[in-house]
Amino acid sequence: MKLTINRNYLNDAIQQVSKAVSSRPAMPILGGIKIDVTHQVIVLTASDTDISIQSFIPIEQDQMIVATIHEPGNIILPAKVFVEMIKKLPADQVSIEVEDHFRTTIRSGSTEIQMVGFDPEEFPLLPAIDQNEIIQIPGDLLKTMIRQTIFSASTSEQTPVLTGVLWNLKDNVLKFVSTDRHRLASRTAAITAPDQYQFNHIVIAAKTLSELSRLIPDQNTMIDIVVAENQVLFKVDNILFYTRILDGTYPDTSKIIPQTYETEMVIDTKSLLEAIDRAYLMSREEKTNIVRFMTIDEHTVEISSSSTELGKVTEQQKVQSYKGEPLKIAFNSKYMIDVLKVVDSEQIFIGFSGTMRPIIIKPLDHDYNTYIILPYRTVN
Amino acid sequence: MKLTINRNYLNDAIQQVSKAVSSRPAMPILGGIKIDVTHQVIVLTASDTDISIQSFIPIEQDQMIVATIHEPGNIILPAKVFVEMIKKLPADQVSIEVEDHFRTTIRSGSTEIQMVGFDPEEFPLLPAIDQNEIIQIPGDLLKTMIRQTIFSASTSEQTPVLTGVLWNLKDNVLKFVSTDRHRLASRTAAITAPDQYQFNHIVIAAKTLSELSRLIPDQNTMIDIVVAENQVLFKVDNILFYTRILDGTYPDTSKIIPQTYETEMVIDTKSLLEAIDRAYLMSREEKTNIVRFMTIDEHTVEISSSSTELGKVTEQQKVQSYKGEPLKIAFNSKYMIDVLKVVDSEQIFIGFSGTMRPIIIKPLDHDYNTYIILPYRTVN
C-alpha cells in the first residue's frame, strides 16, 4: 500500500471514524483505524463492536485530486498518536507507505513517522445489511429528535434496554420514546419511508445517538436509515454509521398518559425555566432536587425549594391560562429543567391529574412532543 | 442592614471575591462572603486565610445610583448557592435585608430568598499593611510576567517554597524566578518604585499568582503592590488582593547559568514548537516525554522520539544560525513546549554547554527572559 493524500481530507475522515475507536480495546486491533486503499476510493473504518463507523474519501473531488494511489492495499494503524499526529503534520500532503510486516512510514514536509500496524485481515467484519428498505430523514430533524429524547433515557446499566431510545415507525410517522421510569420523553415526525413499511421495538443506545448526532452536519443533509435484524445503519454524506440494536423488552408506556386533567395551565417556557433553575440551585443542596409547585390564584403559581442548611427560595410565576382544581405538587427540578431546555415552543401546556399522578408537559403550538414527569410524594 | 443594589455591580463583586472562598472551609464562615454596608461604600470580603480578596462597590458611579442604603450593617452569607443565585436573579435590582439572628432576605423581581447568615464579627481580620512603600506595574506587564514564570514552579508540596515564584526588586527592576529543580524560568521588568526601595526573597504561590492574573483586566490598569512582613497586597481597580508570603529558603539559582556555550543556535520559535509538539505526541506514550535533539549540519537539527509500542517520529528542523560543536542531547519535550509557548519572540537563542549541562533558551530580541532546562542522561 502506498499513497499520497491531502491532509485535510485524511484528517476529517480520521476524526469522523475515531469516535468508534475503543478507548480500552479488548483486542489491540479495536484500538486501531483500518485503511483500505483502492484506485477508486479510500475507506477508513473503526469499530468498538457496539458501533462501527466508515468514512469514504474520494480520489478526486470537484476536479481536485485528493489522493494519488501508487499501490492499493490495506493496513490497521493504532489510533493512539496517529489521530493527533495527522492533525499536526506540517505540510498539506501526507504520504503513507506500508512495507513488510505491516511496517508503515508516514511522511509530511520534514516529518517522518514510523509505526508498526496490524494485520488488516483480523479486523471484525461489518454487518451485512440488506438495503431494500430505506427510510429518509433530514439531518437537522433527526438531531432535534435525538436532543428532545436522549436526556430521559436511563443512565443505569441495571436495565440496559432503558439506556436506549425506542424507535417505532408506522404510517410514515417515526416515533422516539425514552424513559428512566421517573420521566418520559417522546417525539414524533413524519418522514419518507417505503409504502406500508413499519417497525417497532427498535432500541438504540442514547449515547450512540449522541455520537451519531455529532457526525450530522448543521446544513441540511438527507440521512438514509436501514433497519436490519440486530443492526441499524445510518448513511450521512460520505459516512456509514452502524449501531447494534439493544436487547431486552422495552416497557409499554402507551397507557401512562392521562386523557383528562384535574388542573391544566399554560406558562411561558423561558420564564418558568429561569424560575425552576433558581429553585434548583437551592434544592440540589439537598441532593433530592425537590421543588414545590402550588397554585396561588388563577394568574399565579408559586415555586419554592428549601435546604435545611442554607435557606429557602420562593418564586411567583405568572400563568397565561389556568383551568381546574387548585394544586400543590412536588417534583424533581432537574427533570423539569431538562424538558424546558429542549422544548422549542415559547409557551407550554402542563396537565396535572392529582398529586401522585404523572405531570404532562407539551409544547403549545404542535403535537410532536410529550413529556412526563412523575411527582414526588412529600409530607407537607 | 438593608439596601437595594444594582444586580450587575453586586454580581461582579461577588465573582471577584468568590475566588478566595474556601471550597472546603475549615470553619463555616470561611465558606462565606462578608458584606459590609456603610453610607459611603459596600465592601465584599472573602478569605481562605492564604488569600483574601476585597471588592469595593461605590454607592454612586458616573452619576448613576448603584445602591440605596436604607440601613448600614454587615453580615456573612454562605457563598454556596448565593454566588450562583445572584447571577440568575430575574430583575436589575436586588434588595438585601438582615433581621434578627442573621436571618437575611434577598428579593429581586418575583423571587425571594431566605438565608441564615453568620456573625460578621467572627470573620478573620485582614492583615494590617503599612502603605508607605508602593510599587507600581501595568496590569498587562504583570500578567505577562506571571504567565512567563508560573509554569516552571513545582507542583509538589514536598518543598513548599518551590511551589512559589521568587520576587526580587533592586534598582527599579522587578525579577521573577521559578524552578522545580528540573527547569527554571525568569523574567525581569523595569517598574516604578520608591527611590532606593528594594526587597528580595519574597515568594508567592504560583497558584495564587494565577488567581491574581485572572482578576487583572485586559485593558491597561496600573496595579499598586505593597510588600509587608509576611503579606503582599495588590490593588487592582476596586479590588484589594492579599496573599501570604511562602515560608522557606528559596535556593540560589544565580550560578546555574553558564557564561559561555559549546554550541549555540538561533531557531524559529513557532516551527520548533510545532516540531517538538509532534515529537511529544510520541514521547508521552513512554511517560518520560524524552526527545532527542541532534545537529545534522550547520543548517539542520534532527528532533526525534520513540515509543517501544507505537513507533518513532523524526523531524528535520531548519536552524537560522549555528556556532560551535556538533551536539546530541536529550530533554523533556513538555518542558521545551512550555517555554516555547510563552516566548514572545519570533526567534529564540538556544545555548548548550555539553550533554549534561543546562540548556539555556532566550528570546532573540530582548534580555528580559531566561529559561533553563536540564537535559536527560540517555544511553545512546
Q: Which CATH class is domain A2-122?
A: alpha beta
Shortest Cα distance, chain B CAs vs residue A192, angstroms? 43
Tell me the C-alpha distance between B170 and B165, whole Å: 16
C-alpha B64/C-alpha B3 separation (Å) is 16
Domains A135-244 and A263-373 equal at CATH topology level? no
B194 touches chain A (CB under 8 A): no
Residue B288 is predicted with a pLDDT of 86
End-to-end Cα distance, chain B: 73
The residue written with cell numbers 430521559 in the block is A152
- For chain B, the domains span 2-122, 135-244, 263-373
Which grid coordinates belong to B205? 504561590
- pLDDT tens, position by position, B215-247: 999 888 999 999 988 999 999 999 999 999 999
Question: Under CATH, what is the fold of the domain A263-373?
Answer: Proliferating Cell Nuclear Antigen (3.70.10)
For the stretch B73-128, pLDDT in tens is 999 999 988 999 999 999 999 999 999 999 999 999 999 999 999 999 999 988 88
Cβ <8 Å between A85 and B281: yes
- Cβ contact B278–A89 (<8 Å): yes
CB-based contact B93:B7 (threshold 8 Å)? yes
Residues of chain B with pLDDT > 90, as a percent, come to 86
**E strand residue ranges, B12-72:** 32-37, 41-47, 51-58, 60-61, 64-65, 67-71
Of A78, A112, A315, which is closest to B314 when you measure between CB atoms?
A: A112
How far is Cα B224 from Cα B191, in angstroms, rounded to an integer? 11
Residues 6+ apart with CB under 8 A from A264: A322, A323, A324, A349, A350, A351, A352
CATH number of the B135-244 domain: 3.10.150.10
Cα–Cα distances in angstroms (integers) from residue A30 to residues A84, A97, B365, in the given order: 17, 21, 50
Average pLDDT over residues B154-160: 94
At B379 the pLDDT is 53
Pairing type for strands B93-98 and B2-6 reads antiparallel
Q: Which of B113, B116, B292, B308 to mutate to test the interface with A (most CBs of A within 10 A)?
A: B113
Supply φ then ψ for residue B146, to 5 degrees.
-65, -50
CA B81 to chain A, closest CA, distance in angstroms equals 6
Task: Residue B80: list chain A partners with CB under 8 A.
Answer: 285, 310
Summary mean pLDDT of chain B = 94
Q: How confident is the model at residue B286 (pLDDT cuts 50, 70, 90)?
A: confident
Q: Is A286 helix (H, G, I), strand (E, B) or coil?
A: helix
DSSP state of B192: B
CB of B84 within 8 Å of a chain A CB? The answer is yes
CA neighbor of A116 nearest in space, from B315, B307, B311, B279: B311
Region B366-375: what's the mean pLDDT? Answer: 96
The residue ranges of DSSP E strands in A180-320, in sequence order, are 183-190, 199-205, 222-227, 231-236, 239-244, 263-268, 290-297, 300-307, 311-318
Q: Per-residue DSSP letters for B239-293? A: EEEEEEPPPSPPP--TT-S-SS-SEEEEEEHHHHHHHHHHHHHHHGGGSS-EEEE
Regions in chain A scoring below 50 on pLDDT: none
Confidence of residue B166 (pLDDT cuts 50, 70, 90): very high
With a cut of 70, say whether residue B173 has pLDDT above it.
yes
Check pLDDT > 90 for residue B24.
no
ipTM greater than 0.90, yes or no?
Answer: no
Euclidean distance between CA atoms A208 and A241, whole angstroms: 10
